[in-house]
Amino acid sequence: MLKKLLIAALLMPALFAQAAEEVNVYSYRQAYLVEPLFAEFTKQTGIKVNVVFAKKGMAERLEREGKHSPADVLLTTDISRLIELHEKGLLQVNEDATITAAIPAQYRSNDNTWFALTTRARNIYSAKKLGDLTLNYEDLADPKWAGRICTRSGKHPYNVALVSSMIAAHGEADTLTWLKKVKANLARKPQGNDRGQVQAISQNLCDLSLGNSYYFGKMLNDDKQKVWADAVNINFPNQENRGTHVNISGMGMAKFSPNADNAKALMTFLVSEQAQQMYAETNMEYPVRMGVKVSDLVASWGDFKADTLPLETIAKHRKTALKLLDQAKFDL
């Protein structure tokens, strides 16, 4: 009997340690999107996921916490936020073969410090009354659209990334000319968010706007906003040349991750077929993993050709894009 008690006592610490397994996530992604994924991960592994949600300030918080940071995995939207974490040395390399095999090279860093989880196209929405259109981003500078374009701030990360891709395609001087002409075509001063521009089209304030693809699905599934979405067509620009500009949501492993093995396990799960399918159905984004189907609603918008330029190349032009937006006085 005594021997059995001793064996049980020896086993207890191991059992407790297993029950206490956890991974800490700092997330710019909204709770409704990622919490179902974390619940499934915990169900499969027994590892508890603790999440800190934020809209800004992740890099500053990590810098402030330094080596004492509890963060293991960082989730963000937009390439610029991942590049900021990378440039500030707040990420560590993750060479897990499952992850690198699942994500195309153009959607992860060369040194395997950050990885895309989903992609989203930067579309041009057009008033349905205009019928079917074939549009390039370059067409937004055409004088025929004078007073007919709405957009959010040029300095929003989504638009900065688009301008960066224009620099990569056309160079600095031509992109500045393009920005000045697009500004001249605006129906109003840049304001609001992507959905607000579609609302403006539905109110006949303009005929074209820029917006990410998943917002179209969100509006169609919203009783209040469906009338906005019903007033527009979603267009995938540049299909006859370099392809539509695509941005990402992504992840990285924190530099001082205290639960590194659990962080790697969570990151591996997030690129699994099951998790990628959950992303596709919940947020109507495009799974980054090849072979995972988009939602039926997204599929109804048709296939499109994406720009194949690596996101790291686009990100290199970010500072120049901000400079050109200032020179064009785009938001003024």
Separation between Cα atoms, residue 231 and residue 229, nearest integer Å? 5
Separation between Cα atoms, residue 10 and residue 250, nearest integer Å? 42
Over residues 36-67, the pLDDT tens digits come to 999 999 999 999 999 999 988 999 999 999 99
Separation between Cα atoms, residue 266 and residue 72, nearest integer Å? 10
Strand duo 208-212 + 149-150: pairing = parallel
Q: Model confidence at 20, in pLDDT bands (50, 70, 90)?
A: low
Report the percentage of the chain scoring pLDDT > 70.
Answer: 94
Separation between Cα atoms, residue 140 and residue 330, nearest integer Å? 14
For residue 90, the model assigns a pLDDT of 98
Token code pair at residue 68:
């004492």
Q: Is 89 left (phi over 0), alpha (psi -120 to 50) or beta?
A: left
Over residues 77-107, the pLDDT tens digits come to 888 889 999 999 999 999 999 999 999 999 9
Q: Is the pLDDT of residue 283 over 90?
A: no
Separation between Cα atoms, residue 316 and residue 321, nearest integer Å? 10
Separation between Cα atoms, residue 234 and residue 214, nearest integer Å? 11
Listing DSSP states for 171-190 in one string gives: -HHHHHHHHHHHHHTBSS-S
Question: Could you give all domains of the chain from N- to C-terminal order, each with its CATH number?
Answer: 22-119+247-294 (3.40.190.10), 122-245+307-328 (3.40.190.10)
The residue to which tokens 């929003």 are assigned: 156
Read off the pLDDT of each residue in 8-17 and give the average, rounded to a whole number.
37
The residue to which tokens 């992609």 are assigned: 119
Establish how many alpha carbons lie within 13 A of residue 22's alpha carbon, considering only the half-sphere containing its beta carbon.
10
| Greatest C-alpha distance within the chain | 91
107: Cα separation from own chain's centroid: 11
Read off the pLDDT of each residue in 108-133 and give the average, rounded to a whole number.
96
Residue numbers in the known binding site for Fe cation are 214-215
Q: Is the pLDDT of residue 6 over 60?
A: no
pTM: 0.86
Nearest residue to 210 via CA among 257, 156, 263? 156
For residue 183, the model assigns a pLDDT of 98
Read off the pLDDT of each residue in 218-223 and give the average, rounded to a whole number.
94
Residue numbers in the known binding site are 214-215
Token code pair at residue 294:
């988009």
Q: Is the pLDDT of residue 19 over 90?
A: no
With 0-12 / 13-18 / 19 or more C-beta atoms within 10 angstroms meaning exposed / middle / buried, residue 332 is exposed
